[in-house]
C-alpha cells in the first residue's frame, strides 16, 4: 500500500515537471503577443516645409464650386404640400410654378374676408343711399341738422368698414399666395426638400435655385494670410475633375470673421471664364500670389515666426527628419536669422530648402523625440 502511494506521487511529480515548462512558454508567448500588439502613441506635431521667400508668397487652398447666384426658395406660410413641379437638376424659367401648399387655414380666412368685404360694401351703399335721402330732406327743411349729421357719420363709419375689409381681403390673398413658390429667375434646381402630402412650416426652404451663368469658389484662408487678400485679386483655379485646364479667378468677397469655428475666413472667388464642365460641388484648388512688393533678397529662406525659438545660445528651430512624411525624429538646430518679413524670419544659416521644421510646442519638444507629422 505504501509502495503504491509512493509510486503515484513520483508519477505526478514527473507529470508536473514535463507540463510546467509548456505552460510557461505559452504564458510568455501570450505576454509577448500583447506587448507586440501595443501601439506606440506618438505626439502629433504641426510642421512647415522650408522654402524661399517667393515660395511663401504663392499659396494654394482647396474649395468647392458654387453657383454665382444661389437662391433659397421657401414657403412663407405653413401647410401641406399639395403639388411639386420640379426635381433636382431640372431647368426652370422665371415665373414657373415650382410647388404649392394646400393651405386650408389661409383659404378659409380669404373666403371670410371676401364675405366680409361684400357685407361691408352693402352696408356702405345703404348708408350712402340714406345720406342722400336725408340730405335732400334737409335742404327742404324737412329734417333737422342733427339728423343730417347723424346720416353723414353713419356713412363715414360704413365707408371706413368697407376700406378695412378691402385691406383685410388683400392681406388674406397675400397669405394664400405665400403658399405658392414661383421661380424668381431662370436657373437650375440644385436641391429640393419636401414632397406631396408633407406638412411644412413657414420659412421651410423647399428648393435651392442656381440662377445665372456665373460660378464661384469658396475657400477658407487662415489668419496668417487673410490680411494679404484683397478684393479684385487675381487667382489661378484648377479642378481635379477637369484635368489639363486652368481658369482665372477674381476675389469678390472676403469675410471679416471666422464662420462656424472653422479657424479660417471664408473668401469667395469668382471664376472669370467658366465653362459648362464646371458643376456646383466640384472640388477646386485656388492659387493666390500674396506678393506685395516687399524687398526680400533672392533665394533667401524664410520660416514662420512661430517656428523660431530663442535661448542662451541664440535662435533655434526643431528639424523633423522623416522618411515617410508621416513620422519623424526631432532634432534641435541652431540658426542665424536675418530681418523679419510679413512671411516670417529670413534664415541666413542653419537650414536648407525642403527641410521639415516644427511650428508649435517648441518649449516641450525634446531632442531625438519621435513624433507624428500633422
Per-residue pLDDT of the chain (374 residues; tens, 9 = 90+): 444 445 555 555 555 555 555 555 455 555 554 444 445 688 888 888 887 555 556 778 888 888 878 888 888 888 888 888 888 888 888 889 989 888 777 778 888 999 999 999 999 999 999 899 998 888 888 888 988 899 899 999 999 999 999 998 888 888 788 888 888 888 888 888 888 888 888 888 888 888 877 888 999 888 878 888 889 999 999 888 887 788 999 999 998 888 766 678 899 999 988 888 888 888 899 988 876 544 444 567 888 888 898 888 899 999 999 888 788 999 999 999 988 776 678 888 888 888 899 988 778 888 889 998 87
The SS3 call for residue 169 is helix
> CA-based diameter of the chain, in Å?
157
Q: Which are the contacts of 219, defined by CB distance < 8 A and separation ≥ 6? A: 61, 62, 63, 266, 267, 269, 286
Q: pLDDT above 90 covers what percent of the chain? A: 17
Mean pLDDT of all residues belonging to the chain: 81
Q: Supply the angle between the helices 145-177 and 104-139 in degrees, to the nearest 10.
A: 160
CATH architecture of 47-55+295-373: Beta Barrel (2.40)
Residue 9 pLDDT = 54
232: left (phi over 0), alpha (psi -120 to 50) or beta: left
Q: So where are the chain's domains? A: 1-37, 47-55+295-373, 56-67+214-289, 104-177
Render pLDDT for 206-235 as a digit per residue (tens, 0 to 9): 888 888 778 889 998 888 788 888 899 999
* Class of the CATH-defined domain 56-67+214-289: mainly beta
- DSSP, residue by residue, 50-115: -EEHHHHHEEEEEEEEEEEEEEEEE-SS-EEEEEE---TT-EE-TT-EEEEEE-HHHHHHHHHHHH
Asked if the 104-177 domain carries CATH number 1.20.1250.20, the reply is no
Render pLDDT for 109-141 as a digit per residue (tens, 0 to 9): 888 999 999 999 999 999 999 899 998 888 888
Amino acid at each position: 500500500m505504501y509502495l503504491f502511494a509512493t509510486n503515484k506521487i513520483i508519477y505526478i511529480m514527473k507529470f508536473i515537471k514535463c507540463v510546467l515548462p509548456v505552460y510557461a512558454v505559452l504564458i510568455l508567448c501570450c505576454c509577448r503577443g500583447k506587448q507586440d500588439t501595443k501601439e506606440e502613441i506618438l505626439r502629433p506635431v504641426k510642421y512647415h516645409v522650408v522654402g524661399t521667400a517667393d515660395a511663401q508668397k504663392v499659396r494654394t487652398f482647396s474649395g468647392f464650386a458654387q453657383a454665382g447666384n444661389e437662391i433659397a426658395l421657401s414657403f412663407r406660410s405653413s401647410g401641406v404640400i399639395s403639388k411639386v413641379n420640379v426635381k433636382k437638376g431640372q431647368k426652370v424659367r422665371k415665373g414657373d410654378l415650382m410647388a404649392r401648399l394646400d393651405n386650408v387655414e389661409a383659404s378659409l380666412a380669404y373666403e371670410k374676408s371676401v364675405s366680409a368685404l361684400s357685407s361691408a360694401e352693402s352696408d356702405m351703399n345703404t348708408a350712402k343711399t340714406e345720406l342722400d335721402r336725408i340730405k335732400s330732406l334737409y335742404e327742404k327743411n324737412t329734417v333737422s341738422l342733427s339728423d343730417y349729421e347723424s346720416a353723414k357719420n353713419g356713412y363715414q363709419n360704413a365707408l371706413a368698414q368697407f376700406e378695412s375689409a378691402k385691406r383685410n381681403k388683400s392681406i388674406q390673398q397675400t397669405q394664400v399666395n405665400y403658399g405658392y413658390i414661383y421661380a424668381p429667375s431662370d436657373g437650375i434646381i440644385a436641391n429640393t426638400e419636401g414632397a406631396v402630402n408633407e406638412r411644412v412650416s413657414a420659412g421651410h426652404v423647399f428648393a435651392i435655385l442656381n440662377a445665372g451663368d456665373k460660378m464661384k469658389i469658396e475657400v477658407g484662408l487662415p489668419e496668417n494670410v487673410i490680411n494679404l487678400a484683397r478684393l479684385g485679386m487675381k487667382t489661378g483655379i484648377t479642378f481635379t475633375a477637369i484635368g489639363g485646364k486652368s481658369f482665372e479667378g477674381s476675389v469678390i468677397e472676403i469675410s471679416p470673421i471666422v464662420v462656424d469655428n472653422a479657424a479660417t475666413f471664408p473668401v469667395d472667388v469668382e471664376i472669370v471664364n467658366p465653362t459648362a464642365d464646371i458643376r456646383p460641388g466640384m472640388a477646386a484648388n485656388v492659387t493666390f500670389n500674396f506678393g506685395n512688393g516687399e524687398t526680400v533678397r533672392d533665394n533667401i529662406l524664410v520660416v514662420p515666426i512661430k517656428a523660431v525659438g530663442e535661448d542662451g545660445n541664440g535662435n533655434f528651430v526643431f528639424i523633423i527628419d522623416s522618411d515617410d512624411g508621416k513620422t519623424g525624429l526631432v532634432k534641435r538646430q541652431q540658426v542665424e536669422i536675418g530681418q523679419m518679413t510679413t512671411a516670417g524670419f529670413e534664415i541666413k544659416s542653419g537650414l536648407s530648402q525642403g527641410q521639415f521644421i516644427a511650428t508649435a510646442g517648441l518649449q516641450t519638444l525634446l531632442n531625438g523625440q519621435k513624433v507624428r507629422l500633422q
